[in-house]
Amino acid sequence: MKRVVVTGLGALTPIGNTTSAFSEALKNGKSGAAPITYFDTTNFKTKFACEIKDFEPENFMHKREVRRLDPFQRYAMVIADEAIADAGLDSEKLDLDRAGVIWGSGIGGMNTVEAEVETYIQGNGIPRYNPFMIPKMISDLAAGLISIKYGYRGPNYATVSACASASHAIGNAFDYIRLGRADVMITGGSEATVCKVGIGGFNAMKALSTRNDSPETASRPFDAERDGFVLGEGGGAIVLEELEHARARGAKIYAEVVGAGATADAHHITAPHPEGLGAMQVMKTALQDAKLNIEEVDYINVHGTSTPLGDIAEVTAIQRVFGDHAYKLNISSTKSMTGHLLGAAGAVEAIACILAINDNFVPPTINHFTDDEKIDSKLNLTFNTAQERKVRVALSNTFGFGGHNASLVVKRLES
């Protein structure tokens, strides 16, 4: 197996529009939640979300391109550009047949679908659809657009597995390189569902917090009074590269990807397995793939969405997998700050793990006010304040509707 390293990062999140801004916000425990500005929320149960702030796509691309792209695609292009520039990749110096893109998005162009349906209804049923509607809507186009811009002719597709989408994309990209089928892969995910359909649909499922009087404290994983997740948007991009390929061109290396796991709960379309069986198995699988013992893990960035059932199931799974070592871990949910980016969550949270390794800190689980008696108080859930710690190995968990589970293991490069 080839070794795979991270050489570039890009982030566009509700708490920071670049990787460096995202890192600083993580350290400071910043909340990205605020009243929704994109549409009138008068008749909606939830009136807040974690929106991207101060983002003008025209600053990154031509107005014509902005019109032809759904927001999730705009986000993908911007963060891919940041990651590729960060990695110092030059298409003229790459074997483009061995450079690819695998991108995750759980839903794709929801804004586009909503806008086109509204236009159809307002037009009295006359089918005047935008000719770019389908390309703007389908999830695979983000990967396609990145490959077209940079000329990458290697593996190119999208992963769609709800909230595990980006983690599956990263795991797949990792496999292509370690199996010797690619040298460089751009991977990650983006999502843009803060719209009427997104908020309304998740409200109908009773999945979202309705803490409208205090949006900034609404995402509170592991708190006894948690009442659902906060919808977020944005994405993260990661450049994965074969180790010797990276060294040969003098690339800086953030971390090594050493393991990935994928399992299914086979239980329910939205609820997690109550005993956390799928979550347990995916962590075990990822650590076995990484050839690491449980005692070597320092930090787990959990799925931790702030839902009553999900948080309990994940903590149960961690304690069963890690035993006594669970009490020596740092555990945190960065969704307390970013909200839930759905299909992009795994990318943003993998970047949080990589930053933790590089900067020797563990980002906090903010908004903890009341202990949940069902959660072991001896666990270090990194409540409210970032903690200094040398992180050598970090594990990132993402679990999606449909019972999809994914875990990634990243490690400090030591030799």
The catalytic residue positions are: 163, 303, 340
Selection from 92, 93, 79, 393 nearest residue 238 by Cα:
79
Q: Copy the structure tokens of residue 225.
A: 């009074």
Determine the Cα–Cα distance for residues 173 and 191; give it in Å rounded to an integer: 19
16 DSSP 8-state letter: B
Q: Give residue for tokens 């006010």.
A: 369
Residue at 13: amino acid letter: T
User: 371, 188 in Cβ contact below 8 A?
Assistant: no
Nearest to 209 by CA among 64, 47, 338, 394: 47
**Residue 203 burial class via C-beta count within 10 angstroms: exposed 0-12, middle 13-18, buried 19 and up:** middle
Radius of gyration of the chain (CA): 20
Q: Is 261 left (phi over 0), alpha (psi -120 to 50) or beta?
A: beta
Residue 237: which H helix or E strand, with range?
strand 234-242
What is d(CA 244, CA 227) in angstroms, rounded to the nearest whole number?
A: 48
What is the phi/psi pair of residue 295, to 5°? -70, -15
User: Is 146 within 8 Å of 101 (Cβ atoms)?
Assistant: yes
> According to DSSP H, which parts of 48-164 are helical?
63-68, 71-87, 110-122, 133-137, 141-150
CA distance 324 to 302: 18
Q: How far apart are CA 247 and CA 105, in angstroms?
A: 31
End-to-end CA distance of the chain: 16
Dig out the tokens for 163 from the structure. Answer: 């909230």
Q: Which residue type occupies 311?
A: D
